[in-house]
Chain A
Amino acid sequence: MKRTRVFQMTVLLLVIVSAVTVGYWLFDQHVRGVEKTTALVRLYDQQSAAARTLLAAGVPVEQVRTLLPDLYVGADQVALAPQRRAALLDEQQRRLRQYSWEGGFFLFALCACIGVIFAALRAETRVLNEQEQFLALVSHQFKTPLASLQLSLETMGLRQLPPEHARALMDRMLADLTRMATMVGQILDSSRLSHGRMELKHEPVLLDATVHRVVSQYLERAQTDHISIEAHVAPQLQVLSDPIAVDAVVRNVLENALAAVAPVGGGKVTLTARAVGSEIELAVRDSGIGFRPSDHEQLFRKFSRLNAGAGSRYYGTGLGLFIVQRLMQLSGGRVSASSEGLGRGAEFLLHWPSVPVPP
């Protein structure tokens, strides 16, 4: 935003300079042109009168010609010398040429400036709209867990509940809070990633340990949703990235897979890692709802939720895969997704640079 402002101010300055120059030309053409013509006419008149007087006084024509080189002096006429006339015309032509070139350039610069300002204004409007939409979406995302939290609390306040029911309500409230905390984390991450403010380390990370740690955190949830998670990662595989980024990527991809499988009533998620050339590949395959090939573009876009609530018990923010893609880019890796269509599962492929083996 600051850079846009500086750019706009520069362009504005250019426009002002152009306008001043054009004004100066007008002044120059008007004042200098008129002055020059008047002076020349006066000079020509004076010289002609002098030439005639000299001729009348019997001064020889050659002598008058030598005295007044700007004039053509004949036996019976006095006029402006052709070379002088040509020089004057040349001067006029030169001036016109200067105006047309410089004027054309300034006009071009002016049009370019207007175009740039217009583009900058449009970009700014788009950014503002995006921010507004972001806020609307974020607040909307929070309302459901908030409503659930409020309902649980008011239920406890309104009714005399047996201890086991009260305990269940408290668990529910804690889960709602966790849900909101996850959302806040994701929103902050995505905001930092959008503005490129996240600096990642590049160090060897054991993929096997990260995958097993993340999987173990989701086993209970997977069991509830009748989903089996299988991980096949060789213990020696190391990727070159930031440990926190690898954790976040695996977590988000796994979360996405679980959310895709839950609506179909259960299934399987498989994580398989292998070395491919100078890269390490982690394939996350699920038997979930899949996606249409035409929706592929949208998958990694911010706030795009293809299966928004499609029977899923877990509300996504639409930020998870956006975070995955940005983190992979920043780690020097990449992510891709494929699906054979709706209802036919999906596969996410993550590629990190592998740790070079010392010779």
Chain B
Amino acid sequence: MSESVYRVLVVEDDPHLAAGVVENLRAEGYEVDGVNDGRRAVDWFDTHSCDLIVLDVMLPGMDGFAVCSTLRSRGTTTPVLFLTARGDAADRIRGLEAGGDDYLAKPFHLQEFLLRVRAILRRWDWYRASTRTQGSEVLKFAGNEVDFRAFRGRSWNGEVQELTEKEAMILKVLAEKPGEIVSREDLLEKVWGYDVFPSTRTVDNFILRLRKRFERDPANPIHFLTVWGVGYRFLSGDES
């Protein structure tokens, strides 16, 4: 973990639970802020920024999913860990579609919660570090261009592509090892970390989305290749 202090925003309206979460995160060495209202959470980002949002779903003012979607639409890419009393699969998927990174159902185990917080921050650390060095923040292949730090790209036909952070992360993992096979499990571990999704099929869906964005013929891909039963391989097209 890097030496700098991470800042975490806890959005939870139950005073006891909020206090418990805040105290524990502080005890772990994080700098923590707390708000108890969905709308206030969105407003908080007008003047502040943080490394992680711990977001309750059932919130007054605006529910957690809406908070997450609003932040994403405003370009905030801060990772989100949802906390909710509803833990069914449909709800998890809704949370992840809204742009969440992980999902924890109440009541949860303190150590699991801390572990997940650490894992999310580690993944983002890796992403930031790997896009920080000169030349690594932009990927160019076969007329496509992706700016990893702006989460934006331009495809071969000149169309501007707004990437989600997950798409950008997957692309980064694949592009770091051009020509090599990356397994679905590796992608899951690196991009999501835990058992957030019920199956590795989710990765397949994200690959399909990347193909639609950057392949000339998404049905016959030449850059994002499936290696049956194993995973994926990325070819920039500049290989001899």
Contacts and interface: CB of A to CB of B under 8 A. Distances in A.
A152 interface: yes
A3 interface: no
Nearest to A179: B16
B60 A151 contact: no
A140 B110 CA distance: 20
**Interface of A (DSSP majority class):** helix
A143 interface: yes
B39 to A, nearest CB: 10
Interface in B62-109: 83, 85-86, 106-109
A176 interface: yes
Nearest to B109: A154
Nearest to B105: A143
Contacts of B5: none
A175 interface: yes
Contacts of A311: 13, 36-37, 60-61
A310 interface: yes
A320 to B, nearest CB: 18
Nearest to B84: A143
Contact of A148 (B20, B59, B61, B86): B20
Interface in A230-268: 263
A151 B111 contact: no
Interface string A301-324: 000000011111101000000000
A103 interface: no
Interface in B1-28: 13-17, 19-21, 23-24, 27
B196 interface: no
A144 B40 CA distance: 21
Interface in B30-70: 36-37, 58-61
B85 A140 contact: yes
Contacts of B86: 140
A195 interface: no
Contact of A150 (B14, B58, B108): B108
Given A143-B85, A158-B111, A159-B27, A151 B17 contact: yes
B106 A146 contact: yes
A155 interface: yes
A140 B15 CA distance: 17
A34 interface: no
A154 B85 contact: no
Given A311-B60, A312-B60, A144 B24 contact: no
Nearest to B58: A309
A158 B115 CA distance: 14
A154 B58 CA distance: 23
Contacts of B13: 309, 311
A158 B109 CA distance: 11
Contacts of B20: 148, 151-152, 155, 172
Contacts of B107: 143, 146-147, 149-151
B108 to A, nearest CB: 6
Nearest to B12: A144
A145 interface: yes
A150 B59 contact: no
Interface in A293-343: 308-313, 315
Of listed A140, A147, A158, A310, residue having the most chain B CB within 10 A: A147
Contacts of A308: 58, 60
Contacts of B111: 154, 158
A310 B13 CA distance: 9
Interface string A176-210: 10000000000000000000000000000000000
Contact of B16 (A145, A309, A310): A145
B200 to A, nearest CB: 29
B59 A144 contact: no
Q: Which 7 A-B pairs have the closest CB atoms?
A: A147-B107, A154-B110, A147-B106, A143-B85, A151-B20, A148-B16, A148-B17
26 contacts: A140-B85, A143-B106, A144-B14, A144-B85, A147-B17, A147-B85, A147-B106, A147-B107, A148-B14, A148-B16, A150-B107, A150-B110, A151-B17, A151-B21, A152-B20, A154-B109, A155-B23, A155-B24, A155-B110, A158-B110, A158-B111, A172-B19, A172-B20, A176-B16, A311-B13, A311-B36
Interface of B: 13-17, 19-21, 23-24, 27, 36-37, 58-61, 83, 85-86, 106-111
Given A147-B17, A148-B20, A155-B23, 10 more contacts: A144-B14, A144-B17, A146-B106, A147-B85, A148-B16, A149-B107, A150-B109, A151-B24, A172-B19, A176-B16
Interface of A: 140, 143-152, 154-155, 158-159, 172, 175-176, 263, 308-313, 315
